[in-house]
Structure 1
């Protein structure tokens, strides 16, 4: 991965001032798709805190890469911290994200523990032995993406949303849940192939590595999502020295997440 960094390659959004939450989205997502699904309620995030969001490389309105390596989670973590450095976010930071974004945050905390004071891990991805069993699946999706492109893959996923989200969340957000595919539709065949090739190589940090991340951590998981199993969240909670876990089993539970995130960040700012 090249060590050069051009902030103009990244689509970023900044609001508020003060102690910073730096947030990263999930695989094939973007800020636009997060806003469309209606779960995050970022407009309610406390203005006394700074919120920095960005589209990861190759996602949303950010420029793609020519290298599969740039989509590996430890390298996405480098991008994450470079975004913070460019905007001179006060250190230490609170890092957070959904799925791929939560993995990115963990690797950033591993690489630079001095720059991180808290973590918010929303629906952590499948990991370890369970992820190893998915490697062939990721390679198949990589090949399919080369043929279908972003629009084709989005259309296919639209018919199988139950494999991507809990059924109760789909029922509660029937009119907006398809918006989560908006970011995927514009993605190029080459980028998608690289992303899923990287997905086959990616994995969460080992339990030994996790034991060294001694910062307050909020883990938010939901029941009924095979790609983001509760088991991954539970293993993280058990392995991280200072973690609390909330498992949502209904839309009412997920509706509490924006408040949980805000309260967690405010508490770290005291």
Structure 2
């Protein structure tokens, strides 16, 4: 497990000043892949707020982990807070992320409740019973990763993007959607093997644990994505006392997400 934090191991991006949003990408993603697909419109994020993005351990341009345990979500939550601390972010943070980044944020809020002012959970991953049903799939992915590596998996996945994203999103972003694979292309066989083995061990906090998180939370989900089912988002909405849920049914709905994220952060800054 990670025993000592070294910021030089992490690729980070920081802009703006004020209330800090610490943002974490999804599994096999990166800052580069988020920018390539163009859903987030980070260039429009208010400059009166501080935005800190980083490539998670083993992802993008950050250093690889030493063992499978480094990719467990509670461990990655420690990294998230350490990144914020290094940049002297205010004591009360907004934490957010997509899929794996959701889980990272939730575990960080559980471990450091005094530091977290708000949460943004974008397309929460499979969890609880539905995740247990996919454990074998993650082990198969680990095996495939040992054979094909990041570039090989990216080439295969490029033919099946409709299994990774809603078909209506793929259709709307035909010219940029392959960018979602940019992070995967950079990853080695060894890193992917450890990452997918960790994915088989990972799960969201229990609903009882979630009930203790009394922090304003924005949940953003979309339909028609098996890896990020709406049911997970609905259960999170039920479990988190101060949460609001928005479900996207079309690209027009998703295009409104950058505004929802910005407004959420601005409102927390003013409170």
Q: State yes or no: 1:27 paired with 2:35.
A: no
Q: Aligned ranges for residues 6-21 of structure 1 at < 5 Å?
A: 6-21=6-21
Deviation at 1:96, TM superposition (A): 0.1
Q: CA RMSD in A?
A: 0.4
> Structure 2: how far apart are the matches of 1:206 and 1:142?
26
> Structure 1: how far apart are the matches of 2:153 and 2:128?
26
What corresponds to 1:143 in structure 2?
143
> Structure 2: how far apart are the matches of 1:164 and 1:17?
35
> Structure 2: how far apart are the matches of 1:76 and 1:206?
18
Q: State yes or no: 1:205 paired with 2:205.
A: yes
What corresponds to 2:228 in structure 1?
228
> Structure 1: how far apart are the matches of 2:103 and 2:88?
23
> Structure 1: how far apart are the matches of 2:59 and 2:186?
9
What corresponds to 1:262 in structure 2?
262
Q: State yes or no: 1:77 paired with 2:51.
A: no
SS in 1 for 2:205: coil
SS in 2 for 1:21: strand
Contact 2:2 2:75 in 1 (8 A): no
Runs of 4+ in 1 over 4 A off after TM superposition: none
* 1:52-72 C-alpha deviation (Å, 9 max, x unpaired): 000000000000012100000
Unaligned runs of 5+ in 1: none
Deviation at 1:74, TM superposition (A): 0.2
What corresponds to 2:66 in structure 1?
66
> Structure 2: how far apart are the matches of 1:2 and 1:167?
38
Deviation at 1:83, TM superposition (A): 0.3
* 1:172-225 C-alpha deviation (Å, 9 max, x unpaired): 000000011011001000000000000000000000000000000000000000
Q: Aligned ranges for residues 69-108 of structure 1 at < 5 Å?
A: 69-108=69-108
TM-score norm. by structure 2 comes to 0.99
What corresponds to 1:185 in structure 2?
185
What corresponds to 1:4 in structure 2?
4
Deviation at 1:252, TM superposition (A): 0.2
Deviation at 1:112, TM superposition (A): 0.6
Unaligned runs of 5+ in 2: none
Deviation at 1:2, TM superposition (A): 3.1
SS in 1 for 2:96: strand
What corresponds to 2:152 in structure 1?
152
